[in-house]
């Protein structure tokens, strides 16, 4: 019998804990998908030959999302929002940046991710068991930082006003030189945040509706920057952000245009690179490749049976 990989097992566990929602992504299940344009600035051309970072225009697919694997969760239950961008460089050449409204992830190893899923199983039906919560804090000290940051948690008021981080490092490469970078998207509409406690009355699907209304009035856009890593900045640890004062290079402007069905179906695998950019050694980044492919295979097979999720 074929044995399943660690990545497939992780996706199985997500299904066990959050429920199996056929035809949906196994994480970030609900969202809003658009097409648009990326206007490269050319300001990083000394560091990378990547086609989209030259002075150019490239079509893009963009999908905003709520992090929950369960599409029925209220908007406020998903304080972390996502923005996945696919740069369409040519018929056989795409590359993705998958980002969220948090600069850090809660664990640095795929094994810990799976262990944490197991322990958090008790959370699924409302209140976690106290003993298990205590165990989680003792066994996974990195979770403490996440819990304490969640206490002061704020969320963007709109998908259009979040600051989105790639979390992982990548390398720009050119002529034998290698430069570590992290991506950040900043909203042209300005960053706008609300306390999580003020969000609970929002109707289901508020973010999707608000974005549809906003884009029908005027385009929504973001500036994309590369933070330039220095010698001691970790490139393999998504639980640690780099210092805020790192030099940044303006890579270009992302302009969101109109809703798009292809953008909802697309696979935004964060490890798909193009000439001039390579993945860092971050084990979580590398783990994501097969996990995303597993989810994509399942949801597309289910959609062929029953029709798309949206």
Catalytic residue positions?
28
Rounded Cα gap, residues 119 and 190, in angstroms: 38
Q: Should residue 292 be labelled a site residue for ligand HEM when binding is judged by CB under 6 A?
A: yes
DSSP line for 261-278 = HHHHH----TT---TTEE
Whether residue 24 is annotated as binding a ligand: the answer is no
Stretch that binds ligand HEM, among 36-44, 94-102, 132-140, 215-223 (CB under 6 A): 94-102
Q: Please, are residues 110 and 10 in contact by the beta-carbon 8 Å criterion? A: yes
Among 8, 13, 26, 87, binds ligand HEM (CB under 6 A): 26
What is the rounded distance in angstroms from the CA atom of residue 141 to the CA atom of residue 145? 8
Q: Does the footprint of ligand HEM cover residue 10 (CB under 6 A)?
A: yes
Using CB under 6 A as the binding rule, whether residue 84 contacts ligand HEM is answered as: yes
Q: Considering beta carbons, is residue 118 or 129 the nearer one to ligand HEM?
A: 118
Of 294, 300, 272, which is closest to residue 4 (Cα–Cα)? 294
Query: Does 99 contact ligand HEM by CB under 6 A?
Result: yes
Does residue 82 interact with ligand HEM by CB under 6 A? Answer: yes
Which residue's CB atom is positioned nearest to ligand HEM?
82
Q: Is 176 exposed, middle or buried (0-12, 13-18, 19+ CB in 10 A)?
A: exposed
Residue 259 to residue 270: CA distance in whole angstroms: 22
Residue 177 Cβ vs ligand HEM, minimum distance, rounded to whole Å:
26
* Of 43-51, 152-160, 280-288, 301-309: span binding ligand HEM (CB under 6 A): 280-288
Helix/strand/coil percent split, the chain, to 5:
35, 30, 40
Shortest reach from residue 286's CB to ligand HEM, in Å:
10
Could you tell me which stretch among 37-45, 98-106, 143-151, 220-228 binds ligand HEM (CB under 6 A)? 98-106
Q: What does the CA dihedral 286, 291, 292, 293 come to, rounded to 10 degrees? A: 100
Instruction: Name which of 257, 285, 301, 296 is nearest 39 in CA terms.
Output: 257
* Residue 38 three-state SS: strand
Given 296, 302, 303, 309, the residue binding ligand HEM (CB under 6 A): 296
State in angstroms the smallest separation of the CB of 66 from ligand HEM. Answer: 9
Site for ligand HEM in 137-196 (CB under 6 A): 167
**Residues with Cβ < 8 Å from 69, sequence gap 6 or more?**
14, 15, 17, 18, 19, 21, 25, 26, 27, 28, 29
Contact flag: residue 238 with ligand HEM (CB under 6 A): yes
Between residues 121 and 129, which has the closer beta carbon with respect to ligand HEM?
Answer: 121
Residue 31 binding ligand HEM, by CB under 6 A: yes
Say if CB 251 and CB 184 are below 8 A apart. no
Burial class (CB in 10 A: 0-12, 13-18, 19+), 25: buried
Q: Which is nearer to ligand HEM, 171 or 292 (CB)?
A: 292
d(C-alpha 207, C-alpha 209), whole Å:
5
27 sits near ligand HEM (criterion: CB under 6 A): yes
For ligand HEM (CB under 6 A), the number of binding residues is 29
Binding site for ligand HEM (CB under 6 A): 10-11, 25-28, 31, 63, 65, 82, 84, 98-100, 105, 110, 113, 167, 238, 267-268, 284, 287-288, 291-292, 295-296, 299
Binding residues for heme, by number, are 292
């Amino acid at each position: 019998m074929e044995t399943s990989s660690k990545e497939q097992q992780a996706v199985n566990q997500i299904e066990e804990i959050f429920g199996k929602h056929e035809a949906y992504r196994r994480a970030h299940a609900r969202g809003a998908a658009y097409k648009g344009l990326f206007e490269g600035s050319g300001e990083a051309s000394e560091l990378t030959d990547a086609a989209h970072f030259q002075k150019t225009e490239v079509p893009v697919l963009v999908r905003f999302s709520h992090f929950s694997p369960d599409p029925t969760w209220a908007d406020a239950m998903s304080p972390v929002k996502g923005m996945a961008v696919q740069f369409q460089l040519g018929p056989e050449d795409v590359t993705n940046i998958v980002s969220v409204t948090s600069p850090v992830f809660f664990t640095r190893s795929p094994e810990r991710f799976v262990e944490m899923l197991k322990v958090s199983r008790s959370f699924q039906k409302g209140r976690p068991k106290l003993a298990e919560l205590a165990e989680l804090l003792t066994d996974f000290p990195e979770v403490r930082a996440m819990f304490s940051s969640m206490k002061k948690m704020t969320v963007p008021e709109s998908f259009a006003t979040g600051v989105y981080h790639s979390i992982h490092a990548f390398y720009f490469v050119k002529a034998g030189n290698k430069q570590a970078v992290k991506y950040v998207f900043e909203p042209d509409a300005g960053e706008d945040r609300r306390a999580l406690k003020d969000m609970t009355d929002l109707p289901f699907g508020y973010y999707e509706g608000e974005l549809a209304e906003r884009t029908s009035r005027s385009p929504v856009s973001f500036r994309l920057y590369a933070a330039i890593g220095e010698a001691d900045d970790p490139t393999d640890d998504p639980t640690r952000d780099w210092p805020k004062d790192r030099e940044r290079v303006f890579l270009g402007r992302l302009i969101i245009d109109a809703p798009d069905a292809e953008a909802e179906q697309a696979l935004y695998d964060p490890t798909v690179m193009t000439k001039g950019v390579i993945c860092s050694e971050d084990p979580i980044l590398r783990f994501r490749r097969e996990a995303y492919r597993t989810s994509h295979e399942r949801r597309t097979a289910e959609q062929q049976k029953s029709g798309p999720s949206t």
